[in-house]
Amino acid sequence: MESRRSFIKKTAAAGSAVIVAPTILPARVFGANDRINAAVLGLNGRGKNHVKGLMVQDNVQVTTLCDPDMNILKKRQKDFQETYSKDVALEQDLRRVMDDKDIDVVSIASPNHWHALSVIWACQAGKDSYVEKPGSHNIWEGRKMVEAAQKYDRIVQHGVQLRSSPAVNEAIELMRDGYIGRVYMARGLVFRWRADIGDKGFSPVPDGVDYDLWTGPAPKRPFTENLVHYNWHWHWDYGNGDVGNQGIHETDLCMWGLDVGLPTKITSMGGKFLWDDCKEVPEVLTSVYNYPEENKIIQFEVRPWCTNTEQGATVGNIFYGDKGILVVDGYDKYKTYLGKNREPGKSGEDGGDTGTGMARGDGGTDGHFANFIEAVRKHDKTILNGPVETAHLSSGLAHLGNIAYRLDRVLTFNPDSERFVNDPEADKMLTRNYRDDFVVPNRV
Residue 216 sits in a domain of what CATH number?
A: 3.30.360.10
- Write the pLDDT tens digit of every residue in 319-354: 999 999 999 999 999 999 999 999 999 999 997 544
* CATH number, residue 131: 3.40.50.720
91 with 66: CB under 8 angstroms?
yes
Residue 370 lies in a domain: no
Residue 375 lies in a domain: no
Residue 364 lies in a domain: no
Tell whether the model's pLDDT for residue 26 goes beyond 60.
no
Looking at the fold, whether 133 and 259 belong to one and the same domain comes out as no
| Whole-number Cα distances in Å, 400 to 138, 206, 404 | 9, 35, 6
Residue 116 lies in a domain: yes
| Reduced DSSP (H G I as helix, E B as strand, rest coil) percent helix, strand, coil of the chain, to 5 | 35, 20, 45
Domain boundary among 119, 142, 161: 161
Residue 442 lies in a domain: no
pTM of structure: 0.92
Residue 379 lies in a domain: no
Looking at the fold, whether 149 and 190 belong to one and the same domain comes out as no
Residue 443 lies in a domain: no
Looking at the fold, whether 181 and 317 belong to one and the same domain comes out as yes
182 falls in which pLDDT band (50, 70, 90)? very high
Q: Which domain holds residue 202?
A: 163-356+388-418
Looking at the fold, whether 183 and 121 belong to one and the same domain comes out as no
Pairing state of beta strands 284-291 and 265-271? antiparallel
Looking at the fold, whether 126 and 201 belong to one and the same domain comes out as no
Looking at the fold, whether 38 and 85 belong to one and the same domain comes out as yes
Domain boundary among 142, 161, 180: 161
Sequence-separated (6 or more) residues with CB below 8 Å from residue 357: none
Looking at the fold, whether 143 and 123 belong to one and the same domain comes out as yes
- Write the pLDDT tens digit of every residue in 284-299: 999 999 999 999 999 9
- Write the pLDDT tens digit of every residue in 105-139: 999 999 999 999 999 999 999 999 999 999 999 99
Looking at the fold, whether 61 and 168 belong to one and the same domain comes out as no
Looking at the fold, whether 278 and 291 belong to one and the same domain comes out as yes
Domain boundary among 128, 144, 161: 161
% of the chain at pLDDT higher than 90:
89
Looking at the fold, whether 152 and 167 belong to one and the same domain comes out as no
What is the model's pLDDT at position 363?
Answer: 78
Q: Which is nearest to 350 in space by CA: 375, 372, 370, 328?
A: 328
Q: What is the mean pLDDT of the chain?
A: 92
Domain count, the chain: 2
Round to whole Å and give the CA distance between 285 and 185. 18
Instruction: Give the pLDDT mean for 228-253.
Output: 98
Looking at the fold, whether 78 and 205 belong to one and the same domain comes out as no
Alpha carbons within 13 angstroms on the beta-carbon side of residue 232 total 23
Looking at the fold, whether 62 and 109 belong to one and the same domain comes out as yes
Residue 435 lies in a domain: no
229 falls in which pLDDT band (50, 70, 90)? very high
